[in-house]
Amino acid sequence: MTGIPLPDKRRPGKSYSAFFKLIPADLTIIGVWLAAGIMAIYIPLLNITPVRVVLVLPVLLFIPGYCLISALFPKDGDIDLTERLVLSMGLSIAIVPLIGLGLNFTPWGIRLDPLVVALTFFTLVMILVACYRRSRLPSEERFSMPFSAIAGTIREEIFPAGSGRVDRLLGVVLVLGILITMVITVFVIVVPTEGEKFTEFYILGENRTAANYPAMNIVGQNYSMFVGIGNHEYRDTSYTIETWMIRTEFNNVTNTSRIMAMDPNDRLSLSLTHNETRIIPYNLSVKKTGYNRIAFLLFDENVPGFEVTGSDRINASYRDLHLVLPGQSEDDA
């Protein structure tokens, strides 16, 4: 009598259902911690407490590397637990800067939101790959995080049985070094030192690039551009942007330009928090003829009265930029 052969449970068959039905406990914890870290970044009030540091640090220094290691080594015994944990931290330190480097060559740049999205995408993809690869293995061969044995395994690696006094002393030094490094890392993140204080100020063309600026040669027509401000003053700052229509004349004898007329054109006020950058759509129009440049003046809280004009007002501004109108030579600019 010929029966129907039963599937071999030890053979890595097409266990796709296991991939979707069960996510290993360690990867589930990773996913929950990642979600908590993202919430700690964006939820008001929570994102200014030490809880943010506690939740976000593992997302940067451990989770990306652990997910990559889980995807590369799904089988129990590929590498031991200590190697898995150490490699997770080492690879995380390499992965996060590489993701930032990649973002630097994209239109989004190295900013918080793109970095969070990219890091989350990478982590989730690695979790899915790790789940799939484990599901292809027999259950007894899959890696499973021995949570209860972690402390004992690390202790055995640092203080092996039968080790001498010198080895134990070196183990204590190693543990202290790791703890001191972790404390310093947390301190640097929680209490960052103030760097140079400055404000970015720039104007962009209609394509949001530093090119293709409008010619502005028709009186009364609106020309689209963008004005960018980045606050790196380590404090909330109120800014005022003024545009002035200027007519200058160049003196070939003294090799200098002199302002002959300077009239206000527009004014805009806004406030930015520290490390906030805003790119503002800006419509500018030439209201009268006879000018050969437009000055963009940026003031912080100290805005002089309109009795201050000409070169004195430009010198009183925190930052200043200008666009040359048609008919102005490069020497005049």
Determine the residue type at 119. Answer: L
Q: Could you write out the three-class secondary structure of the chain?
A: CCCCCCCCCCCCCCCHHHHHHCCCHHHHHHHHHHHHHHHHHHCCCHHHCHHHHHHHHHHHHCHHHHHHHHHHCCECCCCCHHHHHHHHHHHHHHHHHHHHHHHHCCCCCCCHHHHHHHHHHHHHHHHHHHHHHHHCCCHHHECCCCHHHHHHHHHHHHCCCCCCHHHHHHHHHHHHHHHHHHHHHHHHHHCCCCCCCEEEEEEECCCCCCCCCCCCCCECCEEEEEEEEEEECCCCEEEEEEEEEEEEEEECCCCEEEEEEEEEEEEEEEEECCCCEEEEEEEEEECCCCCCEEEEEEECCCCCCCCCCHHHHHHHCCEEEEEECCCCCCCCC
Average pLDDT on 17-22 reads: 50
Summary mean pLDDT of the chain: 80
For the record, the structure tokens of 97 come out as 């800067």
- The sheet carrying 293-299 orders its strands as 256-272, 237-251, 293-299, 319-324
Q: How confident is the model at residue 149 (pLDDT cuts 50, 70, 90)?
A: low
Most confident range, picked from 30-39, 140-149, 151-160: 30-39
For the record, the structure tokens of 248 come out as 């200058």
For the record, the structure tokens of 116 come out as 């969070």
Is 0.85 surpassed by the pTM of this model? Answer: no
Q: What is the pLDDT of residue 47?
A: 78
Q: What is the pLDDT of residue 313?
A: 92
Task: Identify the structural domains of the chain with CATH numbers, from first to last.
Answer: 16-158 (no CATH), 198-324 (2.60.40)
- Please write the tens of the pLDDT for every residue from 286-309: 777 788 888 999 999 888 988 888
Q: What is the pLDDT of residue 122?
A: 95
